[in-house]
Amino acid sequence: MRKMSVYPEQVVANASELAVGEVKLFTYPEPKDICILIRTTADNFVAYSQKCTHLSCPVYYSSKTKNLECPCHQGAFSAQTGDVLYGPPKRPLPKIELERRGDELVATAVKAGLE
């Protein structure tokens, strides 16, 4: 089960900054917590911790597979849910809860834990 942890809200991007398939890195909830925001379609934005749940390498978004991939040991996560698709990671990527307010994308919480 995934646990929701609520943190102070933070504007992480403007929707109009990103074209479909583009990504932006930001930090949330602490300045050391690097996250990746992806515009998957015109109307859908998702964000996750960028830290692989295996051994903490940074994941990247593959526009070819449309998955989040980890180059260290070929792990992969769904860009839709953060769930593990294959490779050594056992836990999904922590998901950053986003709310869209006009053009602003606001982070409100982190959902993390076991599948």
Cβ 29 to ligand FES, closest distance in Å? 22
Query: Rule CB under 6 A: which of 17-46 touch ligand FES?
Result: none
With CB under 6 A as the contact rule, which of the stretches 10-18, 26-34, 36-44, 68-76 interacts with ligand FES? 68-76
**φ, ψ dihedrals at 79, nearest 5°:** -75, -15
Which positions ≥6 away from 98 have C-beta within 8 Å? 12, 37, 45, 46, 47, 105, 106, 107, 108
Among 76, 114, 108, smallest CA distance to 12 is for: 108
70 is an interface residue for ligand FES by CB under 6 A: yes
Q: Which CB, 52 or 107, lies closer to ligand FES?
A: 52
Q: Which amino acid is at 27?
A: T
- Residues in contact with ligand FES by CB under 6 A are 52, 54-55, 57, 70, 72-73, 75, 87-89
